[in-house]
Structures are given as structure tokens and as C-alpha cells.
Structure 1
């Protein structure tokens, strides 16, 4: 009788453990695929944020470098996941179309940037942010970037409250401003709690969150004292925090 060697026994045990893992913990592979997808998208999106910053300042030359890197990173996303989406996205009929649309937009933006057309570059690549938000939302996937998007949306809303003569005599305006300050504070605090551990341990990130919360406290002081100048300064300072949140951490 031929007895199995130690190597054969170890191989057999390993195979059994793999099968058992697949049976007992079927979600592990799915979670790994979703994590890999989110990380791959984040790698491309980092260059989108950089390109957005340079496009806002009119620096097409540097934006082109960011778009070029974004294109390479997004091609990696399409190559790996277009035909094999993570389970969370498998039922989405627009999965491939969305990935292709984003890739095409990056290509069009890069071409426009190389031709020196700022407006066309922004028009091509700008919607990528919304496409990714919609892709995750319709598939019930939520990542930290979505919290940043919520914070930026709330920030945009409060920045619309430009101080004007006698504004503090308008009770409706004051109540809406106070309510929006509360919304901004709530979402920024939520993002501070929901951030990945590496960010929660990052002094710069924590200073940004605390700074934004301090600005919302200053909004309430401006309301209480009817101080238009303080409100204008506060909103201007908050705008910087809001933009940095997206650029560095979105």
C-alpha cells in the first residue's frame, strides 16, 4: 500500500480548507473584490481631484498630467472589472456602460486639454464625480468619498448665504442659515467619525474637521451678534476647508 507523502497530505488539507472557507464564509471573496474595486477607483479618482483643482485655477498644463495618470488608472479599473464586477454591482444593467462612459470622458478631456480648450476639458471630465456617486448609490455601496460629497454639497449650500444689508433682520433667512450651519456641522462630524483609520489618526485631517466645525460655531456667533463682517470672513475661511477636504481626502 502506498501511503501519501507529507507534501500530499498538506496539499489535501489545504484544498479542504479552501473549500470549507468558500462554503462557510462565502462573503469573504466578494468583500475582497469590492474592496479591490473601491481601491482601484480611488486611485483613479485621486487624479480626478488633482485635475479638478488645476482646471479650476486654469492650469491646463498640469491638469493634463493628472488626466493622463487618471486615464492609466481608469484603464486598469476597466480591464479588471468591466467583465467581472464585484457582486455588489453584478445586477446593475448600466455597469459596463458607466465604466465605458467614464473612460470616454477622460479621453475626451485629455484631448481637449492637449488642445488648450479649458471649457471643453471641464465639460468632459466634470460629470465623472456624479457618475461615480450614482453608480454606488443605485447599488447601495457607500464609501468615504460619498461622505465627502455630502459635506461638499452642504458646504456649497451654506456658501450661498452671502451677507447683505439688513439680512439679519430677515427671520426666514436667519433661520435657514442657522439650520444649514447645523447640517454642515453634522455632516463634517460624521465624516470625521466615518473616515478610514489612517485619516482618523492624521493630524492634518483632524485639524481640517475641527476647523470646519469651528467655522460653523462662528456662523452662530455672527447670527447672534448680527455681524455681517464676521459672517463674510467665516464663510470665506470655511470655503478653504471645504475645498481642501475634497482635494486631499475626497
Structure 2
């Protein structure tokens, strides 16, 4: 009986610890998301050369990041506690946001955007090396797949060349598969969102249309599909990246 009670007590402590860790990770993700939302908005406004509005968004991102540093900088949640690179991530993100804020204040949109872009990469790599994953990470991979495809937006593809055809098909299938993965990884609440369904359905239909012009060796039509798909890709980043 004593052994059973001891075992039950041990399991109760273990369960409580697991729940506590899960709650802490969830709170950490929420804190990062409070940085991410105004950060993405700032990137969008800087892209359209609206440094003034971007600066307002950056002030929110900066304040939210300072909150992350204050709460988790020296005492991150358990998966990050053993991450030797976490302090460097904190420094790099702080530096990038600070540079972006100062450049935006000077009205220098392009340099500010360039300074801010590494923030997303740092946070993505931080989660990846610690076995963490959120919806933004799947969207990061999706956007990276678009970067590969978009090469042919500025460089007219010669689909009479079998090697170019193979590369374009592979890149198209990779994007299609990544889109499916993001759909499957979406939280239940997000999957039920009509806006999410509409955008993802539209993106899937557009992505599927990439293959026909490759087969028919029509690079101009391929570019037209890319333009449409890029719009969906940007929306997905701004909304859920």
C-alpha cells in the first residue's frame, strides 16, 4: 500500500510538472506573438515606404520584446533553459529591433526593413533547435518555398529545357505540399475560421494551376499564376506567419 501511495504521489508530481511546463511554453509563445503581430505590420508598411506608420508598429513590437526579455531573458521556459544560443538570440533580436526603430524614425524604409528581417529568422531557428513549432514556423517554410518559385517571376523560364521543367515542377510540388502541411498543422480554432479557409482554398487552387503552364511550356502563363499565388502568400504571412 505504501509503495502504491508513493508511486501515485510521484506520478502526481510528474503530471503537475508536465502541465506547468506546457503552460509556461504556451505563455512564452503568446509573448512572442505579441512581438510578431506589430513586427509583421511594420514590415508591410516599410515595404510600401510608409516609415511613419511602421514606426508606430515598431514601438509596439519593441515594448513587447522588452517584456519577453524581462520575463524570459535570464530564465527561459524549460526547453530553452539548456539552449546555449538563447542569450545570443535575445541580443540579436534586440539589436535588430533597435536598429529598425532608429532607421524608421529617420524615414529610411528600405534599410529599416533590411535590419528587421533577421528577427523572423532568429525566432524560427530558436524554436527549431529546441523542438518547438508554431503556425508561424510552417508559414516561414511556405514563404521560403515561394522565394524559390519567385525566381521565375523575374527570370523567364525556358520550359523547352527539360532540366528547367523538372526544377519548376519540383518547386511547385514543394509549395503545394507545404501549403497542405500548414493546413494540417493549423490549430482547430484557426481551421474553423472562414477567412483562413477562404485564403487557404484560394492559395491551393492557385498553386495547383502552376503545373499546367509548365507542361504546356508557357512561361508567361506560369508568371501570371505566380503573381496571383504571391498575393496569397503575402496574405498568409501577414495574417498567420
- Shared fold by TM > 0.5? yes
Question: What secondary structure, in the 3-state scheme, does the structure 2 residue paired with 1:169 have?
Answer: coil
TM-score by length of 1: 0.87
Q: Computing the radius of gyration over CA atoms, which structure comes out larger, 1 or 2?
A: 1
Partner of 2:45: 54
- Give the whole-Å Cα distance in 2 for the aligned partners of 1:174 and 1:209: 26
Partner of 2:226: 235
Alpha-carbon offset, residue 117 of structure 1 = 2.2
Partner of 1:40: 31
Alpha-carbon offset, residue 149 of structure 1 = 0.4
| Higher alpha-carbon deviation: 48-57 or 165-174 | 165-174
| Gap regions ≥5 residues in structure 1 | 1-17
Count of aligned residue pairs for this structure pair: 234
Corresponding residue to 1:210 among 201, 205, 213: 201
For the Cα contact (< 8 Å) 2:69–2:90, is it kept in 1?
Answer: yes
For the Cα contact (< 8 Å) 1:163–1:231, is it kept in 2?
Answer: no
For the Cα contact (< 8 Å) 1:109–1:125, is it kept in 2?
Answer: yes
Partner of 1:153: 144
Alignment pair present for 1:183 and 2:174: yes
Alignment pair present for 1:200 and 2:191: yes
| Gap regions ≥5 residues in structure 2 | 1-8
- Give the whole-Å Cα distance in 2 for the aligned partners of 1:124 and 1:179: 32
| Higher alpha-carbon deviation: 195-204 or 23-32 | 23-32
Q: Deviations over 1:56-98 (max 9, x none)?
A: 1111011001100001111111111112211010001222232
For the Cα contact (< 8 Å) 2:152–2:223, is it kept in 1?
Answer: no
Alignment pair present for 1:26 and 2:29: no
For the Cα contact (< 8 Å) 1:41–1:77, is it kept in 2?
Answer: yes
- Give the whole-Å Cα distance in 2 for the aligned partners of 1:87 and 1:156: 34
Corresponding residue to 2:237 among 219, 226, 246: 246
- Using a 3 Å threshold, how does the CA distance of structure 1 residues 61 and 88 change in structure 2: closer, same or farther? same
Alpha-carbon offset, residue 166 of structure 1 = 7.6
For the Cα contact (< 8 Å) 2:49–2:110, is it kept in 1?
Answer: no
For the Cα contact (< 8 Å) 1:108–1:124, is it kept in 2?
Answer: yes
Partner of 2:99: 108
